[in-house]
Amino acid sequence: MNIAYLVNKYPAISHSFIRREIAGIEGAGGTVFRFSVRNSDPELLPDIRDKREYEKTEVILENNWFGLVLQMFIKALASPIKFADAVRVAFAGSSFRPSDLIRRIAYIAEAAWLTRRLREQNVKHLHAHFGTNSATVAQIAYKLGGPPFSFTVHGPDEFDRPIELDLRSKISDALFAVAISNFGKGQLMRWANYQDWGKIEVIRCGVDDNFILNNRSKPTYEKTQFASIARLSGQKGIPLLIQAAAILKDDGYRFTIQLIGGGEMQPQIENMIRDYDLQDYVNLVGWASTMEIVESLLDSKAMVLPSFAEGLPVVIMEALALEVPVIVTAIAGTPELVNDQSGWLIPSGSVDALVEALKTAMQTPPQTLSEMGKAGRERVVSLHDSMKNGAELFELIVKYHAHDQ
């Protein structure tokens, strides 16, 4: 079966799990065409596998606007009833501000162009990642005569604005919808029509084989180091980690935190490190390759992520796959993977709880940390195998198409 994947920006550093899911579908016998709404910068992709994905991906907005608008008018003239339905979907939840109107007209043009490409490639199913603009374009394409679609919802970006994103309508029109955790499924059920609950599925994100199959070395837990891998955004709670580091420093603890990632809050984080005089304690690494992340985790007592809002972070799976315990907040889907046998679950927003967890990890014997890491790895291998989960998604696509005929 020919399947298309649609993502707002693909490939991307934070979207490597999508690459792995595609590999699972292809391993199960599917043929996948990749589409990205916006272009990525290949120079910013540290993983060679993402660079290869870039070469396989068609970018919708890389095509000139004249071509996109032309396809929109062709659709309007050829199928005015379908086009009117597509316009209704495009403007659902709109604020009708000029910028919002322009964006939603762009969605229609993108969907019109995509519909033509999917027909040319004989695509039978379109899957979008994230319930935001990519799922909107997939839904509009369906209304314009494109193939049945499904989409995966990840977390706070969708759950923070379900009405604006019109999640209810998306779920209703989709062949099926996917959540990455049972928590996420419950959130989708909250916003879906009751009669659509049965087509909300759970497919968990998978872990890179570099973590699952890592046989080179094991963590020793001897260094007083912690790793935190995160996009530096408001959701991740990194300023709380900096505050905790300052408290630990003032209490006389010696440690280092390898902070891997970048994002819009990087200047603020840099200022906090300087203001708290933490240059010898917190190393802001920036974005890193998969192997650099592996090395940092293997040198750490625990991976720390004090998030305020999440779906289920892949980095938690990666750390546990390497037998590194985690210090994470008990939010969203995280408790479905982490328990007190594999790490420390702390309340969100509590710097005191974070400080205590860091102290406890520093004082925990290496043998105990090793046992915690092994327990976490067993959970990850059981729940987050990329090839298996990608194959399960492919099976769902085939099953729902068979029922739809």
Q: Provide the pLDDT for residue 355.
A: 99
> Mean pLDDT lowest for which of 85-89, 102-106, 204-208, 294-298?
204-208
Q: What is the dihedral of CA 207, 212, 216, 217, to 10 degrees?
A: 90
Give yes or no for residue 138 having a pLDDT over 80: yes
DSSP notation for 201-247: EE-PPPBPHHHHT--S------S-EEEEE---SGGG-HHHHHHHHHH
Give yes or no for residue 213 having a pLDDT over 80: no
**CA–CA separation, 272 and 401 (whole Å):** 52
Q: Provide the pLDDT for residue 245.
A: 99
Domain ranges in the chain are 2-206+385-404, 209-383
Q: Provide the pLDDT for residue 383.
A: 94
Q: Provide the pLDDT for residue 223.
A: 93
Q: Above pLDDT 90, what percent of the chain?
A: 84
Give yes or no for residue 405 having a pLDDT over 80: no
Record the pTM: 0.89
Q: Provide the pLDDT for residue 94.
A: 80
Q: Provide the pLDDT for residue 25.
A: 97
Q: Does domain 2-206+385-404 have CATH number 3.20.20.70?
A: no
Mind listing the pLDDT tens digit for each residue in 353-382? Answer: 999 999 999 999 999 999 999 999 999 999
Give yes or no for residue 215 having a pLDDT over 70: no
Positive or negative: CA dihedral 21, 300, 333, 170: negative
**CA–CA separation, 18 and 21 (whole Å):** 5
Give yes or no for residue 31 having a pLDDT over 70: yes
For 399, list phi and psi in degrees, rounded to 5: -65, -45
Confidence of residue 46 (pLDDT cuts 50, 70, 90): confident
Contact 27, 81 (CB under 8 A): no
Q: Provide the pLDDT for residue 324.
A: 97
Mind listing the pLDDT tens digit for each residue in 148-162? Answer: 999 999 988 899 999
Q: Provide the pLDDT for residue 76.
A: 95
- Of residues 25 and 156, more confidently modeled: 25
**Mean pLDDT over all residues of the chain?**
94
Amino acid at 169: S
Q: Give the mean pLDDT of 72-86.
A: 95
Confidence of residue 214 (pLDDT cuts 50, 70, 90): low
Q: Give the mean pLDDT of 47-57.
A: 92
Q: Above pLDDT 70, what percent of the chain?
A: 99
Query: Which stretch, 34-43, 90-99, 288-297, 300-309, has highest mean pLDDT?
Result: 300-309
Q: Provide the pLDDT for residue 157.
A: 86
Residue that the structure tokens 């290496």 belong to: 366
Q: Which fold has domain 209-383?
A: Rossmann fold (3.40.50)
Q: Provide the pLDDT for residue 373.
A: 97
Mind listing the pLDDT tens digit for each residue in 281-339? Answer: 999 999 888 889 999 999 999 999 999 999 999 999 999 999 999 999 999 999 999 99
Q: With both helix axes pointing from N to C terminus, report the angle between 133-143 and 80-90 in degrees, rounded to the nearest 10.
A: 160
Confidence of residue 216 (pLDDT cuts 50, 70, 90): low
2-206+385-404 and 209-383 agree in CATH topology: yes
Confidence of residue 211 (pLDDT cuts 50, 70, 90): confident
